[in-house]
Amino acid sequence: MADPLSDDDIQRRLAGIPGWAYENGALHRRFEFADFNEAFGFMTRAALVAEKLDHHPDWSNSWNTVTVDIVSHAAGGVTDGCFELAGRMSALA
């Protein structure tokens, strides 16, 4: 299991994933799409990536919006894997 990153490391690495923030101990982002179909399609594609990485986000969907929080519950914080998933989700959006 990976160790959680320090707050300083997290803040530095956030520059590499625009749109994401560090909130309540997790990487956080709100994605907005044209409609529900696009939002759900994004979630479907992101779910396949998350399963492949074996790292699953906490997320919700409301019509055209997907709100995402990523943290490693097993490691007790944000890890390299969290940043990997965040970057891949950004690329899908």
pLDDT band at 1 (very low <50, low <70, confident <90, very high): low
- Give the CATH number for residue 84: 3.30.1360.20
Tell whether 13 is covered by a domain: no
Question: Distance of CA 16 to CAs 12, 48, 61, 76, 86, Å?
Answer: 8, 23, 25, 22, 10
Residue with structure tokens 């519950």?
73
Asked, for residue 8, whether it belongs to a domain, the answer is no
Does residue 16 lie in a domain region? no
pLDDT in tens, 16-68: 999 999 999 999 999 999 999 999 999 999 999 999 999 999 999 999 999 99
Global pTM exceeds 0.85: yes
**Residue 25 structural domain:** 21-92
What is the tally of structural domains in the chain? 1
pLDDT at 45 (0 to 100): 98
What is the arithmetic mean of pLDDT over 68-83? 96
* Residues ≥6 apart with Cβ < 8 Å to 4: 72, 75, 76, 77, 78, 79
